[in-house]
Amino acid sequence: MVNLSKKFGVEKSLLQLFLDQVSSDRTGGNGGITTFEVDELIEWMIPKPCGHELIRIGGSGDGAYLVPDDLSGIEACFSPGTNNYKYFEDTLATDFGIKSFMCDFTSSVEKFHTPLIKGMQSFEKKWLDVSASPDNLDINNWVAANSAPDTDLMLQIDIEGAEYRNLLHATDETLTRFRIIVIELHGLAYLSKEEFREGIFGPVIQKLSRHFTCVHAHPNNCCGVTVHGGAAVPSVFELTLLRNDRRRPGGERLELPNRLDVVNVDRLPPISLEGPWLKHADAEASLAQATENRLAWLEKQVTLLVDDKAKRVKRDELSDFLIRRCLPNANLARGKRTRQSAADKSVRTSEAFAGVRDSGRGIRTDKHASPWWSIDLGAVYELDGIVVYNRTRGKPLCARGLRVQASSDGEGWVQIARHRAKTSFGGHELLNGIGPFFVNCKKMKARYVRLVGAGETMLDLEDVEIYGSIASD
């Protein structure tokens, strides 16, 4: 069982700090926190009109966000978790004259895709965290040291689950300095677990709700959705918050998705917000925009899979596969047990769980004769299609001649496809104009799928997606 408090680094001392900061209306006589219901936590994340038009900052790809057009007078943006991209901060500097203070221990200035803008941007190779360390920045000290006390600021925070402990650690004085907060929330698949609601997520939401309103929500399509309290909740959720004193009364009903929203991961279908999420939105306009986004994604997928002549895939053969691929969490490979013939030393075990690009490692074996990787789907399925993503920036030629096999019992294997082109195939990025390797399974019944390399080689792949429906008796 996962220890969620340890996973997200939220210790009892931080919860006590939360209790000291908030009013006593949510505390019990024993000093504990009363129950946070799933429905009320979802309610706070439902976007509401703010009286400002939303604008997109940071370009058209992942790492850009929608914010209210209320940037005049903001002195600086604080951005922990920049990775190697700072298009959001570049736009703030060039278009709005807003400085940015950035930090990320995993990056460095020489890795940035754009150089620092002199006088407008600074970077520290440190974590944002609550413990005292030469490698850490404390959010309260960081903000105080780099801004005048009477100015408004912006916070753009994407730190892979560390957002909870840092927001609990932030004082009200620090928190209310931010006019706008753009936050990527992680771990929402745990929302139905009491430990996550009571000890991590609920306290953070209560703290934010005292000063901020959610004005835009964008589901990151990287990790699917899970159902909590009757609502489909994205596992990773990007929210834009506006300080309550900056909201204007009235305003038109929202569109979710907004026409300026784009998908985070191109190879995965967009996630649409439905049901309670549209409480303050124009449901008809939202449905129209969501449908337009889904159709555009489907057309792109058809183009990727059909244009590679070596695959000889017909458009009508893609229908069941693409329709199923649009469903949230439809990838049968996610979270299933895998094995491989010999693990590369950078991979900890030869038996792991698929997911698989979530870890950034994908599938990699040592070089040897006929290396293989297999997955147990846990039950027999009628398979619609399999998509194999090559690691285009690694050793793409290793994938030439790749064989795809299936089995109902893990003993007898049937070859259902083989890559026969002289050039290799691509992944989530095209390789010489070629997309990923698509296998039309034609409703074949199988529980196990295996990939086998051709000859003396290695497997070096990004991901495998498998789609189908449970087989009938």
SS (H, E, C) the chain: CCCHHHHHCCCHHHHHHHHHHCCHHHECCCCCECCCCHHHHHHHHCCCCCCCCEEEECCCCCCCEEEECCCCCEEEEEEECCCCCCHHHHHHHHHHCCEEEEECCCCCHHHCCCCCCCCCEEEECCEECCCCCCCEECHHHHHHHCCCCCCEEEEEECCCCCHHHHHHHCCHHHHCCEEEEEEEECCHHHCCCHHHHHHHHHHHHHHHHCCEEEEEEEECCCCCEEEECCEEEECCEEEEEEEHHHCCCCCCCECCCCCCCCCCCCCCCCCCCCHHHHCCECHHHHHHHHHHHHHHHHHHHHHHHHCCHHHCCCHHHHHHHHHHHCCCCCCCCCCCEEEECCECCCCCCCEEECCCHHHCCCEEECCEECCEEEEEEEEEEEEEEEEEEECCCCCHHHHCCCEEEEECCCCCCEEEEECCCCCCCCCCCCECCECCEEEEEEEEEEEEEEEECCCEECCEEEEEEEEEEECCC
**Omega of the bond leading into 49 within 30 degrees of 0 (cis):** no
Q: What is the pLDDT along the chain (473 residues), one digit of tens a residue?
A: 678 888 998 887 777 766 666 654 444 433 444 579 999 999 999 999 999 999 999 988 778 999 999 999 999 999 999 988 899 999 999 999 999 999 999 999 999 999 999 999 999 999 999 988 999 999 999 999 999 999 999 999 999 999 999 999 999 999 999 999 999 999 999 999 999 999 999 999 999 999 999 999 999 998 888 889 888 999 999 999 999 999 998 778 899 999 999 989 887 889 989 899 999 999 999 989 998 888 888 878 777 776 555 455 666 667 777 777 777 678 898 888 888 887 554 443 444 555 544 434 678 888 889 999 999 999 999 998 898 989 888 788 889 999 999 999 999 999 999 998 778 888 877 788 788 888 888 889 999 999 999 999 999 998 898 998 888 76
Instruction: Check residue 357 and give its pLDDT.
Output: 44
The DSSP bridge partners found for residue 57 are 65
**For the whole prediction, is pTM greater than 0.85?**
no
Instruction: Check residue 27 and give its pLDDT.
Output: 44
Instruction: Check residue 253 and give its pLDDT.
Output: 87
CA–CA gap between residue 338 and residue 348 (Å, rounded): 13
Tally of residues, the chain: 473
Q: β-strands 372-390, 337-340: how paired? A: antiparallel
From the number of C-beta atoms within 10 Å of its C-beta (0-12, 13-18, 19+), residue 53 rates as exposed
Instruction: Check residue 416 and give its pLDDT.
Output: 93
Instruction: Check residue 177 and give its pLDDT.
Output: 97
What domains lie within the chain, and their CATH numbers? 4-296 (no CATH), 337-470 (2.60.120.260)
